[in-house]
Amino acid sequence: MTKVLCVLYDDPVDGYPRSYARDDIPKLERYPDGQTLPTPSAIDFKPGQLLGSVSGELGLRKFLEDQGHTLVVTSDKDGPNSRFERELPDADVVISQPFWPAYLTEERIKKAKKLKLAITAGIGSDHVDLQAAMERSITVAEVTFCNSISVSEHVVMMILALVRNYIPSYQWVVKGGWNIADCVERSYDFEGMNVGTVAAGRIGLAVLRRLKPFDVKLHYMDRHRLPEKVEKELGLTYHPNVESMVKVCDVVTINCPLHPETEHMFNDELLSKMKRGSYIVNTARGKICDRDAIVRALKSGQIAGYAGDVWFPQPPPQDHPWRTMPHHGMTPHISGTSLSAQARYAAGTREIIEAFLGGKPIRDEYLIVDEGKLAGTGAHSYSAGDATKGSEEAARYEKV
């Protein structure tokens, strides 16, 4: 029988919800490009439930245990004495989320002698050492497109929050004030600004489509150029590299995968080429930005604001400087784990496991690594290598 080791984030501090704010969520049939939503044989949960925390178990326990398989669910993932590390040596399948990633480093993969499949319940598999997975012929899969629209909505929200100085204004209300001048001294109209996305894949293109009605000037760079029809429809300006794009943009949104080619892309040199007073929104991966370079750029005024929900490592230690840097709009990594998104990535995770257990092919669009090489979405979006170095710092996080 198969042992499935699943790492999920902790339950709410006030206890697992007995009721929800809404009775249901909209039912979708297809994603914007026509790809169907996950198609498992069945699901053992009601869409809209909290599935991504430990008590939710992605709705997998009944399905797996009815077939005699073992499911271990934990949030204890970091450090040599974590439950994840103890359970890993005899695990056949590892499931993890980008929001609370179980880092599958080369060292951990060496200990996982039976590991055959690593699933990302969500999108973005950079918490796996893809090079080591290829060398061990471990299949890496993720639930492509499951939360791309969720993230794109979050991007638009964060852009407006920065440009309109929403967060400090809200805080004045909480403090009992009516300090209008303090609120508007860093508030601008979004209309007419130049906005660019680093990558225009599923998330980046969805962001561009949502920004079009704001009457802004749209730019993008990507190693795969969009069709001319799409460029004309959205009025896009294409840039062959990130340097040429950031020079003209008032707002830059980062929507590319993390791999060796994008690691620390936004460093001191690139930030110095941006327009003074521009904004950065990063819902891709924290390590695409040089942590300390972002802090320096905010303190100097080179950038006017930085928002996002991705950090490195995750969770970040209490002394991570992004918690206290000026003019930020950071959140925990939540953009892709709304209750709506959880229903899709839980169903997609089950679809992948059903294929694995049944000896059937996993959807090509779900594949990142297969048969010792980048495959499917992985071949389109990633480069070979490892982006997990430094992830051991996550063990320094202390719950509050």
Is residue 314 part of the annotated active site? The answer reads yes
Q: How far is residue 287 CA from its own chain's centroid?
A: 12
Query: Of 202, 259, 333, 344, which one is the catalytic site residue?
Result: 333
Query: Of 97, 131, 147, 165, which one is the catalytic site residue?
Result: 147
DSSP output for 362-394? --GGGEEEETTEE-HHHHHH--SS---TTGGGG
SS3 content of the chain, % helix, strand, coil (to 5): 35, 15, 50
Rounded-to-integer distance, Cα 320 and Cα 322, Å:
6
Is residue 35 part of the annotated active site? The answer reads no
Tokens of 254: 């980062």
CA-CA-CA-CA torsion for 47, 52, 56, 60, nearest 10 degrees? 80
Query: Of 194, 255, 282, 314, which one is the catalytic site residue?
Result: 314
Tokens of 230: 């799409």
Which strand (E) or helix (H) includes residue 10? none
Query: Of 285, 327, 344, 350, which one is the catalytic site residue?
Result: 285
Is residue 333 part of the annotated active site? The answer reads yes
Closest CA relative to residue 160, chosen from 211, 220, 217: 211
User: 3-class SS at 230?
Assistant: helix
Catalytic residues: 147, 285, 314, 333
